[in-house]
């Protein structure tokens, strides 16, 4: 991948992370309740699961994520059905390893598969996306 494309993807990934964490909100607590909602997020560039040792291991990636105990996770450089990851569905595998819901968005085609961004969350997000889409079209 050329340098210009990498730069563009890095900038795009950063903007996605900023937007993702700026729009997350929870319903306010009732006035009589004195509770605070704490949300711990994580942005993680996984380089298609390839560690510093050159080995692709989603188990290591999931372990690192678990150590941070984030609520939502914005993940960049995720492969889906590419040759370099033995056609793995990385979004699905990571979601299963972490016990989270997921939404994947392709940014480009790579090695006969997809390469893109992933949102992981312990909260159901797919239904919310569908509900919001239906509201906007109504």
What's the 3-state SS for the chain? CCHHHHHHHHHHHHHHHHHHHHHCCCCCCCCCCCCCCCCCCEEEECHHHECCCCCECHHHHHHHHHHHCCCCEEEEEEEECCHHHCCCEHHHHHHHHHCCEEEEEEEEEECCEEEEEEEEECCCCHHHHHHHHHHHHC
Examine residue 74 and state whether it is found in any structural domain, yes or no.
Answer: yes
pLDDT of residue 57: 94
pLDDT of residue 40: 86
State the residue range of the domain holding 92: 3-25+40-137
CA distances from 84 to 49, 50, 60, 81, 123 (A): 10, 10, 17, 9, 31
Examine residue 34 and state whether it is found in any structural domain, yes or no.
Answer: no
Examine residue 49 and state whether it is found in any structural domain, yes or no.
Answer: yes
Examine residue 73 and state whether it is found in any structural domain, yes or no.
Answer: yes
Examine residue 48 and state whether it is found in any structural domain, yes or no.
Answer: yes
pLDDT of residue 27: 43
pLDDT of residue 75: 95
In this structure, the dihedral spanned by the alpha carbons of residues 107, 114, 39 and 23, taken in order and rounded to 10 degrees, is: 30
Examine residue 64 and state whether it is found in any structural domain, yes or no.
Answer: yes
> In the Cβ-directed half-sphere of 25, how many Cα atoms lie within 13 Å?
6
- Nearest CA to 45 out of 12, 77, 68 is that of 77
Q: Are 49 and 62 in contact (CB under 8 A)?
A: no
Examine residue 31 and state whether it is found in any structural domain, yes or no.
Answer: no
Number of domains in the chain: 1
For the chain, 138 residues long, the average pLDDT of each consecutive 10-residue run is 62 61 49 70 93 93 92 94 95 96 93 95 73 64
pLDDT of residue 117: 95
- Nearest CA to 118 out of 61, 67, 43 is that of 43
Examine residue 106 and state whether it is found in any structural domain, yes or no.
Answer: yes
């Amino acid at each position: 991948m050329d340098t210009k494309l990498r730069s563009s993807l890095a900038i795009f990934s950063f903007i996605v992370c900023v937007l993702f964490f700026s729009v997350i909100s929870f319903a306010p607590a009732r006035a009589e309740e004195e509770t605070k909602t704490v949300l711990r997020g994580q942005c993680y560039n996984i380089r298609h699961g390839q560690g510093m040792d050159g080995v692709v291991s989603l188990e290591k990636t999931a372990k690192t994520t678990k150590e941070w105990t984030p609520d939502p996770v914005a993940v960049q450089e995720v492969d889906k059905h590419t040759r370099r990851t033995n056609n793995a569905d990385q979004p699905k595998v990571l979601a299963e390893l972490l016990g989270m819901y997921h939404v994947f968005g392709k940014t480009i085609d790579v090695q006969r598969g997809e390469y893109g961004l992933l949102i992981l969350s312990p909260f159901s997000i797919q239904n919310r996306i569908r509900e919001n889409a239906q509201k906007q079209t109504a």
